[in-house]
Chain A
Amino acid sequence: MSAPKTMFEKVWTAHEVVPETADTPAVIFIDLHLTHEVTTPQAFSLLRERRLRLRRPDLTLATMDHATPTRTEQVFGGAPITIDSAAKQIRQLEVNCAEFGVELLGLQDARRGIVHIIGPELGVTQPGKTIVCGDSHTSTHGAFGALAFGIGTTEVGHVLATQCLLQKKPKTFAIEVDGRLAAGVTPKDLILAIIGKVGVSGGTGHVFEYRGAAIRAMSMDERMTVCNMSIEAGARAGMIAPDETTYAYLADTPRAPQGAAWEAALARWRSLPSDPDATFDKTVHIDAATLEPMVTYGTNPGMVVAVSGHVPDRKGDPVFDAAMKYMGLNPGEPIGNAPVNVVFVGSCTNGRLSDLRAAARVLRGHKVASGVHMLVVPGSQEVKRLAEAEGLHEVFRAAGAEWRESGCSMCLGMNGDTVGRGQYSVSTSNRNFEGRQGVGARTLLASPETAAASAIRGRVTDPRELLS
């Protein structure tokens, strides 16, 4: 019998082209390379400079999401894209994909969307794969038991040219989530609580494995929300063991293995979960049942409180003091006092169909408070189509919210969708860093339910007040 292994160790070992030595990192094979317009142009330039070809077009997929507009007239109507440099970047991706033979799900493709939404949707995200992308939220794909992590543009070039990366083996970190989430408490609340507990650098050098009853009870959409924000605790990757929920999700996707290949894949996937006696370098326990809806009050995702709670008082802590100054909040005040100017529902964290349903469930029959601008942006064109088929867009529009084409949108201020200076935004995205949503923007991260409830009341609101 070999020593018990974690899921991470199994996936890592299976992808060692050359194992790590004292002098050199491991050469790791990459099964799926997802690419987008923002972090690839310099990598394609590198290929040209070195006269290299794309090694594995069959394992490379491109789409556009970050700098891409969400206004229908700019996506489909021929109206000019507002930001010239973004338009140029989009055109450059088209040129690069054509020249190097990359499959591109381009601006008007019905399969386009945020890269971390469409990988799972298409079924190219699968258990046991190594998946990389020039984006830190690549950790999302770990929800399927893949080893998925973000890389820089130089490494994007390495994967384009060799389908491999040089990597030092990270350590393992078990996040044990016992019990069940209470009604009205969501996976977003859970991951915010985890980041609050572990800290924004607590996962540095580690790969998370989320385990326990609360994780097993989650849908794939919910697991993706959790894995998505692993990087906000410093972990490059977060994994969840595949199970029947995973296989049922994949069985319905267009690019999952078929027939005998499906049966063979299932047999491989069932061997992936960590062995019962496997040990982790670190472990934390969280009791899901004690959690409440959470919201951030500061300028990193670890500065988090219950929506019904108060801004803590840590005067004298330089991070806290700087955050209070930037956010314009006061130590000790109820977070429910925070005004709301903008509400954003979307992003790779919470832009899937179930997230839109959750927001619509709260909004139905209500109006967005006067003075609040609410933007709902589906994570992919497929999410948009499905949401419209069940009338969710009508619920949002009736409430006074805007409904857009898919993209990263207001998660980061680079595509024309921004939050104004000094404005408060309750956002279902993943980062509340200074200026993330626009210069001087003040971001409070929350679940779709909390975002919708806050839009209705015009202040940060516990969604359970509206759902009961």
Chain B
Amino acid sequence: MTTAVIEPIVTIRSRTVVMPSINIDTDQLVPARFLTTTTKEGLGKALFADWRYDADGKPQPDFILNRPEAVGCRVLVAGRNIGCGSSREHAPWALVDYGFQAVISTEIADIFRNNSLKNGLLPVVVDETTHGWLLSNPGAEVEIDLASATLRIPGRAAVSFSIDPFARYCLMNGVDELGFLLSKDAAIKAYEAKRVA
């Protein structure tokens, strides 16, 4: 369809970081004062800034991302309804820049989910039982297989999750939607020709 522009994702294997907070909004993911940037790079430092650092900018020792067990983890397990609020794509940019490749929850807000898919960050919605187990077992080693859309947890039955087939194609091939849209130029021209201004 077009050339790869983002790192293709096939399988993600990682220990999990667990943040059980419900309704983690995008103002928590990246506070607004960090949005006056004109690039995507470097936002990992702003990720969860108000939870991660104290008033003097020192790391909060109890916050999970500041703890040794979080180092190298690629999968974030979050409480219900992560990503609600603002449309800022800086939220997935920050998660990806920090090193996350997937976010697991029982509900993921619409705009955040769309933005994540466009940046190589896989949103995975699971059932409450699986979610409950993941919340109670931080640091669990999980495997997310995109081709079969399954989440594997050692010692448990594989869990399938739903993902839009087009988004999956794009993620697995590292292509973005823009190439696909540009390939529809003739259809767009035809629509424009008959459109009432």
Whether, in the assembled complex, B177 has its beta carbon less than 8 Å from a beta carbon of chain A, the answer is yes
In the assembled complex, how far is the CB of residue A74 from the closest CB belonging to chain B, in whole angstroms? 15
B32 A413 Cβ-Cβ under 8 A: yes
User: How many residues on A have C-beta within 8 angstroms of the other chain's C-beta atoms?
Assistant: 68
Specify which of A17, A22, A39, A440 is in contact with B187 (CB 8 Å cutoff).
A17
Whether, in the assembled complex, A325 has its beta carbon less than 8 Å from a beta carbon of chain B, the answer is no
Known: A41-B39, A46-B178, A155-B114. A29 touches B33 (CB 8 A): no
Chain A, 10-24, contact with B by CB distance < 8 Å: what is the 0/1 string? 000000011000111
Chain B residue at minimal CB-CB distance from A27:
B184
Complex CA–CA separation, A98 to B50 (angstroms): 36
B177 A166 Cβ-Cβ under 8 A: yes
CB neighbours of B22 from chain A (8 A): 318-319
B23 A152 Cβ-Cβ under 8 A: no
Specify which of A39, A67, A319 is in contact with B23 (CB 8 Å cutoff).
A319
Whether, in the assembled complex, A200 has its beta carbon less than 8 Å from a beta carbon of chain B, the answer is yes
CB neighbours of B109 from chain A (8 A): 201, 204, 234
Complex CA–CA separation, A440 to B55 (angstroms): 9
Complex interface residues of chain B between 33 and 84 (CB less than 8 A to chain A): 33, 35-40, 50, 55, 79-81, 84
- Which of the segments A81-89, A243-251, A329-337 contacts the partner chain? A81-89
Known: A162-B184, A414-B33. A168 touches B164 (CB 8 A): yes
A17 B118 Cβ-Cβ under 8 A: no
Complex CA–CA separation, A436 to B37 (angstroms): 18
User: How many residues on B have C-beta within 8 angstroms of the other chain's C-beta atoms?
Assistant: 54
B181 A300 Cβ-Cβ under 8 A: no
Specify which of B27, B40, B110, B118 is in contact with A436 (CB 8 Å cutoff).
B27
Complex CA–CA separation, A25 to B177 (angstroms): 10
CB neighbours of B37 from chain A (8 A): 41, 85, 89
A154 B118 Cβ-Cβ under 8 A: yes
Specify which of B27, B89, B182 is in contact with A152 (CB 8 Å cutoff).
B89
List 13 other contacts, CB 8 Å, given A42-B40, A200-B23, A436-B27: A24-B180, A25-B166, A29-B191, A42-B89, A45-B38, A85-B37, A151-B114, A162-B185, A163-B192, A431-B25, A433-B85, A434-B28, A435-B50
